[in-house]
Amino acid sequence: MIAAAVSVPVLPLFDKTGAVPRTPFAPSLPDWPVLPSEALYGVAGDIVKTIEPHTEADPTAILIQALAAAGNIVGPGLHSTVGATRHTLNLFPVLVGETSKSRKGTSGDEIIRLFSPVDSDWSKDRVTTGLSSAEGLIAEVRDDADLQPEYAGVLKVMTREGNNLSPVLRQAWDNGNLRTLVKHNPLRATGAHISIIGHVTRPELLRYLSDTEAHNGFANRALWICVRRSKFLPEGGAVPASDVAALSRRLRELVDWARRAGSLELKRDEAARALWAAVYPKLSEGLPGLLGAATSRAEAQTLRLSAVYAALDCSAIVRVEHLRAALAVWDYCFASARFIFGDATGDPVADRIREALHGAGPDGLTRTQIRDLLGRHTSADRIGQALTQLAALGIASRRTVSTEGRSTELWTATEARKATEG
């Protein structure tokens, strides 16, 4: 697959006198993620294979939205447990495109068309768009719901002072027990089964995802999915009605089975437990920066994905093939997060300096240039903290350069310095 071009915003850079612009250094970018074939298992894989030839949507967008819809339509009865923690099958995938032309919404339309014959009340009354406040969310989800918001709007709302949408969304992912802590007219919803499918462009995401939301557990409840247009169909496309009907019948079997099962715990068999024990240490590894903050629930996300795959087989037993499919999806999510967030720290000052150092290339920037770059509104202590963080993460390095007068501290992007030394 051909990696998509990514526009990395670079601050204005100057030469050592602070006057003459110079050519920015272009850091290397992670490859565009590739979906492992194991993810296309069972009903979910058949959905992708049936729809993909007839749409411009990304196959992974079709897959993840099919999994999210299946996990929502079965309701909160099906679950897996870890210790005392109960995990239902609701997912929060966020489709991230480079531009608004990534066909994020097209894939969702195909999934709604497929699931509509399965449960007309669900598709008509429980799938909605728009998300602007915690109160609006709770009012909407007195029963279960599948929300499809434009994610940039959600992120912008959460930056407003006093807005309590972020903690309520975290509650929605955790257990569905929602409440607002306002003194007058507090709202509650108990056991709401909420799935959220977000659509956002990468520039919007990086602009509006705040330091707080990145690190308070909001970002790691999402499944970050890179998507792009898969092909050009000037005349559009149409999945044959007979194919849609066949898939809908299989999904109807899922819904009927889930309703008969009621409250049912999905457990791994011996082979799946052995595989889980082998991959668990890797899933549990912590990573620094924004990438680490966005992917630190790898175990829980993989658990939920494996349970959805099992449910689609109408199986109370999570088998090896279900876990392998879930691990394949998580691999794509992790690679997507790495592509989206790269070496960003989530600290706005540190990330602004990081971008500037990448732009400066092997020449680097002095402390004075960094201070001027930030408009002299950032204290020396704050700059020092940001530089210390970049150095600790291995993103930037410093050296002392002798001049005619006193020596100068010069900071360089580690990647740029390695390229020069190489």
- The pLDDT tens digits of the residues spanning 40-92 come to 999 999 999 999 999 888 999 999 999 999 999 999 999 999 988 999 999 99
Most confident residue range from 3-7, 241-245, 272-276, 292-296: 272-276
Q: Say how far apart CA 153 and CA 224 lie, in whole Å.
A: 17
DSSP string, 65-100: HHHHHHHHHT-SSEEEEETTEEEES---EEEEESST
Q: Say how far apart CA 411 and CA 377 lie, in whole Å.
A: 20
CA atoms within 13 A on the CB side of 369: 25
Confidence (pTM): 0.80
Over 80: is that where the pLDDT of 291 sits?
yes
CA atoms within 13 A on the CB side of 111: 30
Q: Report, in this order, helix, strand and coil percent for the chain, each rounded to 5.
A: 50, 15, 35
Angle between helices 59-73 and 241-261 (to 10 degrees): 40
Residue ranges and CATH numbers for the domains of the chain are 37-341 (3.40.50.300), 348-421 (1.10.10.10)
Confidence at residue 358, expressed as pLDDT on a 0 to 100 scale: 85
Note the pLDDT tens digit of each residue in 124-159.
767 766 665 555 555 555 545 555 566 666 766 666
pLDDT greater at residue 126 or residue 264: 264
Q: Say how far apart CA 137 and CA 128 lie, in whole Å.
A: 10
pLDDT greater at residue 122 or residue 10: 122
Is the CA virtual torsion 250, 254, 255, 256 positive or negative? positive
The region of weakest confidence among 215-224, 380-389, 410-419 is: 410-419
